[in-house]
Amino acid sequence: MSAAEVHAESAESAETHVVDEDSLDIELSKDKIFHLLQTPRRRHVLRYLKDHEGTIEMRDIAEQVAAWENDITVQELTSDQRQRVYIPLYQSHLPKLDEEGIIEYNQSRGTVTRTEIANQLDRYLSTDDESDNVDDDTDDEIQWEAYYLGISVFSTILLAGSVLGAPVLATLPTVAIGGSIVAMFALVTLAQLASERSEK
């Protein structure tokens, strides 16, 4: 390939990353905004870019998002924690935001720049970060507390029935009743852990 061809290809590649200024006037629909913000990692990316001006290293974004997800500092992150966030951002989330004109993402250089269109998401992002997440977390806690309370009540009934000689329960061995109670608590605990991990 000649030097002229290389230069032409580089120029063409650069043009694909130029944002059409007319696109800055695009008004995003609420459906589009909610679709873009439905993924926690995309919300974290936009939250980070909102507080940092100019061109940002994608690595820095991935590290901060990973730290937020694990509720630790960037310095405390392990290599696996970084990798679990970096790959989805690189392959999916950042290209999606770039496609919608929210950011300029140079995948080959690993850089990200926030565009003016991102301003349209700010008020939804603020609401999501400051209140919706709190409400969601509270709802989840109430849900799991209800499960644990239900098992506690049911376990009390089983034990009381066994001690008082209820027709069916009196025939069951104490070990079977105790084992059932332990198994119920274990299943709910495992379900809660699996739910929390899937949300990450």
pLDDT tens digit at each of 200 positions of the chain? 444 443 444 444 443 344 444 444 578 888 888 888 888 899 999 999 988 889 999 999 999 999 999 999 999 999 999 999 999 999 999 999 999 899 999 999 999 999 999 888 888 876 444 444 434 544 555 576 788 888 888 888 888 887 887 777 777 787 888 888 888 888 888 887 877 666 54
For residue 128, what pLDDT is reported? 44
Residues 6+ apart with CB under 8 A from 46: 37, 97, 102, 114, 118, 121, 125
Q: Are strands 103-106 and 111-114 parallel, antiparallel or unpaired?
A: antiparallel
User: Do 108 and 147 fall into the same domain?
Assistant: no
Half-sphere exposure of 81 (CA within 13 A, CB side): 18
Q: Mark whether 60 and 102 lie in a shared domain.
A: yes
Domain count, the chain: 2
Please report the pLDDT score of residue 167 as a whole number: 78
- Report how far residue 164's alpha carbon sits from residue 160's, in angstroms, rounded to the nearest whole number: 6
Measure the CA–CA gap between 106 and 16, rounded to whole angstroms: 10
Q: Do residues 36 and 80 share a domain? A: yes
Would 141 be classed as within a structural domain? yes
Q: What residue numbers bound the domain in which 144 lies?
A: 134-195
Q: Residue 10 falls within a domain, yes or no?
A: no
First to last CA, the chain: 46
pTM above 0.75, yes or no: no
CATH code of the domain covering residue 47 = 1.10.10
pLDDT score at 72: 93
Within-domain flag for 7: no
